[in-house]
Copies of this chain bind each other. A is one copy, B any other.
Amino acid sequence: MPTEFEFIRNLKEKYGLNRVGDDCAVLPKDSKADLVITADMLVEDIDFRLKWTTPEHIGHKALAVSLSDIAAMGGTPKWAILSIAVPAEVWDGGFVDRFYEGWFKLAQQHNVELVGGDVSRSPAKIVIDSILGGETVKGHAVLRSGARPGDSIFVTGSVGGAAGALELLESGVSYAESRGKKRRLLERQLCPTPQIEAGQHLSSRKLASAMIDISDGLGADLYHICDSSGVGAVIDLDAIPVDEDLDSFSIVEKRAFAIGGGEDFELLFTSKREKIIGQKLPLIHRIGVVTANVGIVELVTDDSRSLLPRIGYRHF
């Protein structure tokens, strides 16, 4: 059987789907703006576990993952359609009220208006459907396909924290009882912060040639950019900004989280180096360069050079 990436690639070829395959669909709106629209489905026990988190955090995360897709296009979020299907016993437990509280708290921070949606019954697991619409300046949406050899590769903030948090949760660490670094790590997984402002800054000034949000993992998402752009990349392993709250883990674990883990919801983008110097951006790091070595991503240090395996999260 094909993986889901192969399946979607086959579907695109079979039906000639030119617009599928970015973080958002881009549609013409009016003479000044384009629409960017994303849909995310979150399924209990795949995308979240009730025993690890709170209803408010699930509401927050349902919106945050969609905000991050809008951020990856350089868009400004505008409106949302939110649907949730829950089993009867979850409905009776008051989950849905607290879920919406978490959702609205984040929505109000980003001036997102809820314009539709539904609440319904699910036979077994909670299923959440988050649709978010936004706008970019016309023609300014940043696609995955614009990276060119010679561009520098940048990442916002730090990476690996969300995957480290998952490891803590799986080992039995409880959010309610956590403090300090552990709590900050868990919050990277349970209530992530989308990089809306950085995305807007990059798109409005046409600074980025390609962009994606880190949801599958830095390595897998870099391959998405390389595959869409028909390029390769060389990454300086020591330049990757690993989350500082991971300091109780070994260097091998930290690198695995930073490159192979997902859900950091930072932005990974390419640009001419000179365009970025002097820009008032949130913390960013230059981690490598785009090459003409199509489909090949290499990891280098001062004394080593290796091929990055395609190890991102796959459902099938």
Contacts and interface: CB of A to CB of B under 8 A. Distances in A.
A113 B18 CA distance: 10
B30 A116 contact: no
Contacts of A121: 43, 46, 315-316
Interface string A96-127: 10001000100000000111111111111101
A152 interface: no
Interface of A: 1, 4, 7-8, 11, 15, 17, 19-20, 22, 24-25, 27, 29-31, 35, 37-41, 43-46, 79, 81, 83, 85, 88, 91-92, 96, 100, 104, 113-125, 127, 129, 131, 133, 315-316
Contact of A83 (B39, B81, B114, B124): B39
Contacts of A119: 4, 7-8, 315
A115 B27 contact: yes
A110 to B, nearest CB: 15
Nearest to A12: B114
Given A43-B121, A46-B123, 13 more contacts: A15-B104, A19-B116, A25-B116, A29-B29, A39-B81, A39-B83, A41-B85, A43-B122, A43-B123, A46-B121, A119-B315, A123-B124, A123-B125
Nearest to A26: B115
